[in-house]
Chains A and B, each alone.
Chain A
Amino acid sequence: MSAKSPGPRRRRRLAAVTSLIMAVLLCTLGAAAASADPPADNRACLRCHGMATLAYRDGITGNLIDLSIDPGRLAGSVHGKVACVKCHAQGYRDYPHPQDARREQLDCVGCHREAHERISYPFEAIAGQFAKSIHATGDDPKLRGFGCHSCHDPHAFRVSTVGKPLGEIVMDDNAVCLSCHAQVTDPLSDRHRWLPKREAHWAAVRCIECHTPIAVGGDGAQRVSHQILAGKESNSTCVNCHSGSQRLLSRLYAYRSQEDLARDGLFGKAVFNEAYVVGLSRSPLIDRLSLAFIGVTALGLMAHGLGRYLAYRRSRGKQP
């Protein structure tokens, strides 16, 4: 009997350990499943707004107003974990939605003014730049109500992550501009006729590289201004990008440096620096001046050496 007694005890222990492992696994899976789900409040909203066909026709303008939100894109966006009523009026908690909820003022900077947000991204500086942008100052009636959401869909917006292929970044960023300005890509359009190799530029360069001021802001966290320029004020001087201030090469180098650091770490970056771009240190003026200086110095030293040699021979000739 005593020989059999450890058996059930061992089984109980095994069962206890198995239960513990299962409990931990279930908790982990449960937590993972919970984190993939939208916040509980949002599920209620998405029951209606998740339908692709949810829309109404505006009684005044007659336009069809799309009220649908793609739940998948929302979950993958920077706001995927934010409750709908964190941005939208609290009145939207109730259904039917009260009329006064429609008077809400959606304000990105208002939410992003918290200190930790400002450090990671300068929203207030962006608001200042946008105020000077053609999108804010233009008198085209289509610009009425233009705001952050006109370009950045808050229900789908994702920040570019380091390591994303440059071609994809260019395509995604330009898609924002082209969602309104598609006509500029028309082969018969005159807008970019002056630009050599138009299609190559569009595939490799973001619209904002030329359509924002050359002088960057003093904010270290931001590489490109939100002050979008009118066509006639935009950069159309080739050397501004290709040799003058090397603005584009610098931006490319900065992005590739971030990739290097993320991939190789500090020491790997210091040795291999795969970010380096040919031509980054080019300056025709410094090159010409320095090479001329070096040439003159070399000639001067050779002349000095020759003088010393002749003096030496002369002094040898005088010796008895």
Chain B
Amino acid sequence: MSAIYLYPGWVRLWHWFSALLFLVLLLSGASMHYAGTPWLLSFKLAVPIHNAAGILLTLGWIGFVVGNLFTDNGRHYRVRWRGLMGRLVAQIRYYGYGIFRGAPHPFKVSAEMKFNVLQQLSYLGAMYLLMPLLILSGWAFLFAVYLPESLFGLGSIWIVAMTHLAVAYGLVLFWMVHIYVITTGETVLTNLRAMLTGWDRESGTGASAGPSESAS
């Protein structure tokens, strides 16, 4: 049995706060986009909920970036370029083949690095590319009146709207894969428990669905 304290309090608080906001934004955003669908929120209700949640998500994201700049958590997002391709291939082979054969996990969680290379790249893409794009396009949507009428020959509002829409769909895809990947720990609930308690506990037997990975 090994236990590593991987998720400090502020990371867990930020994570669950963002998770809640993500669900609220997904539901309210879908209610605005597909307005009139019976089982969604009413358009009038969805708009202020979506905007308020978007403002809180912005504050949360700023907190996340600042936290990573000033605490040790930031080191998990620094890419180790040496041997990147080899680790990437090994990780893809494991998810695509080895995981079904009981092969050992090519990556071992440690206090220095909690993400395998695929997780690290996808979290980097989500947190430092998609999230800023989502937040910027959301604010640009709200204050589109200050944008020029057109950009690159296309209407600015249309560009902002399409960016927000495409990035939102991209983050829904990320969220689906994220939810699934957290079940690939030593047991289905190992990673979820780690994100609740902060401690990554493994028996070391590699019993069920493949060796451990961390949640976020």
Residues of chain A whose beta carbon lies under 8 Å from any beta carbon of chain B: 215-220, 222-223, 245-247, 250, 253-254, 257-258, 261, 266, 269-274, 276, 278-283, 286-287, 290, 293-294, 297-298, 301, 304-305, 307-308, 310-312, 315
Are A253's CB and B157's CB within 8 A? yes
* Smallest beta-carbon distance B214→chain A, Å: 18
Q: A261-B145, A305-B180, A311-B99 are in contact. Are A217 and B162 (CB under 8 A)?
A: no
Number of A-B contacts (CB under 8 A): 118
Q: Tell whether B10 is near chain A: CB-to-CB under 8 Å.
A: no
Q: A272-B47, A293-B173 are in contact. Are A308 and B162 (CB under 8 A)?
A: no
> A290 CA to B154 CA in the complex, in Å?
22
Do B102 and A218 have beta carbons less than 8 Å apart? no
* Contact flag A247-B155 (CB < 8 Å), given A254-B145, A286-B162, A312-B209: yes
B48 within 8 Å of A by Cβ? yes
Given A215-B153, A218-B150, A307-B100: A269 and B142 interface contact (C-beta under 8 Å): yes
**B79 contacts the other chain (CB 8 A):** no
Partner of B158, one of A219, A245, A257, A294: A245
Q: How many Å lie between the Cα of A290 and that of B55 in the bound state?
A: 25
Separation of A169 and B52 alpha carbons in the complex (Å): 32
Answer whether residue B80 sits at the interface, using C-beta atoms and an 8 A cutoff: no
Interface size class of B (residues with CB under 8 A): 35 or more
Cβ contact within 8 Å between A270 and B33? no
Closest to A223 in B: B149
Residues of B within 8 A of A279 (CB): 35
B148–A278 CB distance below 8 A: no
Cβ contact within 8 Å between B149 and A222: yes
B176 touches A280 (CB 8 A): no
Provide the bound-state CA to CA distance between A297 and B33, in Å.
21
A270 to B58 CA separation, bound complex (whole angstroms)? 12
B 54-76 binary contact with A (CB < 8 Å = 1; else 0): 01000000000000000000000
Can you list 29 A-B pairs with a CB-CB distance of less than 8 A?
Answer: A215-B153, A216-B150, A217-B149, A219-B148, A220-B147, A222-B149, A245-B155, A246-B155, A246-B161, A250-B155, A257-B144, A258-B145, A269-B142, A272-B48, A272-B51, A273-B142, A276-B32, A276-B47, A278-B35, A278-B43, A280-B157, A280-B161, A290-B172, A293-B173, A298-B176, A304-B180, A307-B100, A310-B100, A311-B99
Determine how close the nearest CB of chain A comes to the CB of B116; give it in whole angstroms: 16
User: How far apart sit A276 and B48, CA to CA, in the bound complex (Å)?
Assistant: 11
A173 to B114, CA, bound (A): 63
- Give 7 A-B pairs besides A223-B149, A305-B183 with Cβ atoms closer than 8 angstroms: A250-B155, A254-B145, A276-B32, A278-B35, A281-B165, A294-B173, A301-B177
Interface assignment of B210: CB less than 8 Å from any CB of chain A: yes
Taking CB as reference atom, which chain B residue is nearest A270? B142
